[in-house]
Amino acid sequence: MASTVTVKGVVTLLTCGHHLPVARTGEILGDLFGVNISDAVILEAASTVAAGVAPVTDAVRQALIQSPVIHVDEPGLRVEGRLYWLHVAATDQLTGYQVHPKRGLDAMAAASILASYEGVAVHDHWKSDFHFIACQHALCNAHHLRELEWVEEAWGQPWAGA
């Protein structure tokens, strides 16, 4: 049987590293190690890791705020079957994440990056991004290309593909 340290390490890897739901993580641990582990133990292991990496997370957030250019986006993800938003701020070497039930200003303020950012924020033209006026704004060409591809495919407009 695996040691407590090993089980907590695997729990953390599955929930935090591979983003598996808590219930699924418990099932996998039962299958792999023959242990019946409660949701509370799984959540406690993730909280312990979160507290341990908090200084690193804060350092990444501060480094992003000091970066001359960052990319921000907010893809959706499911949390207990509900739509949440993964607020991302990134450079080529750093990435900061904040999961929030909202997509707009409240969530962006909670992420604590754009509110203090004074460089160039590259984004997808989401209206909420423009509320942060200390930074300059640049629009993401990858998003432009996807929109042009959609115009070509949905509306049969060959100019959009060109």
Question: The pTM is what?
Answer: 0.78
Give residue-wise pLDDT tens across range 70-88. 999 999 998 888 999 999 9
Q: Is the pLDDT of residue 104 over 60?
A: yes
The fraction of the chain above a pLDDT of 70, given in percent, is 97
Q: What is the mean pLDDT of the chain?
A: 91
Q: Is the pLDDT of residue 4 over 60?
A: no
Where do the structural domains in the chain lie, given as residue ranges? 4-54, 67-161
In terms of DSSP bridges, do strands 95-100 and 120-123 run parallel, antiparallel, or are they unpaired?
unpaired
Give residue-wise pLDDT tens across range 47-64. 998 899 999 999 999 999
With contact defined as beta carbons under 8 Å apart, do 61 and 46 qualify? no
121 has which bridge partners?
A: 70, 137
- Report the candidate in 102, 113, 109 with the shortest Cα–Cα distance to residue 71: 113
Question: Which pLDDT does position 7 carry in this prediction?
Answer: 77
Higher pLDDT, residue 91 or 7: 91
